[in-house]
Amino acid sequence: MGDVSELNKRLLWGLTLLLYSGLIFWLSSLPLPEGSPVFPFAHGDKLWHFLEYLLFGLLAWKAFNPRDARGLGLALIIALAYAGSDELHQLFVPTRSASILDWGADSLGALGGLLLGRRL
């Protein structure tokens, strides 16, 4: 009985991760309004990227429930691949661009989320 309940929880977290991935894709599909966003410090958008993928990493932790380094590595690869695909996707959106620095901030956020999930 406990195995079914654990599977159901992981499926629910997986669905949540899938929906969050869709939200990221949709937001990345929106052209940026002229002159935005404005951040109070240089490269402030990297903080947004980090936080966006920190949540992605936490959701990936809950969905995949990695119990060893191999599982953690797989969840990280999935997060890094999705972040990379998101950057590539933005090449086709007016007023957007792909950036290796954005991908780096996404990657650090995803790793942070996975490690935070491990600590919790």
If DSSP states are collapsed to H, E and C, what string results for 73-114?
HHHHHHHHHHHHHHHHHHCCCCCCCCCHHHHHHHHHHHHHHH
d(CA 66, CA 73): 9
- Where are the domains positioned within the chain? 2-119
pTM value is 0.87
What does the pLDDT look like over 25-35, one tens digit per residue? 999 999 887 76
Confidence of residue 38 (pLDDT cuts 50, 70, 90): low
CB atoms within 10 A of CB 8: 10
Mean pLDDT on 19-42 = 83
Distance of CA 89 to the CA centre of its chain: 14
Instruction: Answer yes or no: is pLDDT of 1 > 60.
Output: no
* Residue indicated by tokens 């901030």: 105
**Residue 51 near residue 104 (C-beta atoms within 8 A):** no
Q: Which of 18-27, 68-77, 101-110 is the least confident region?
A: 68-77
Q: State the DSSP H helix or E strand holding residue 9, giving kind and residue range, or none if neither.
A: helix 2-29
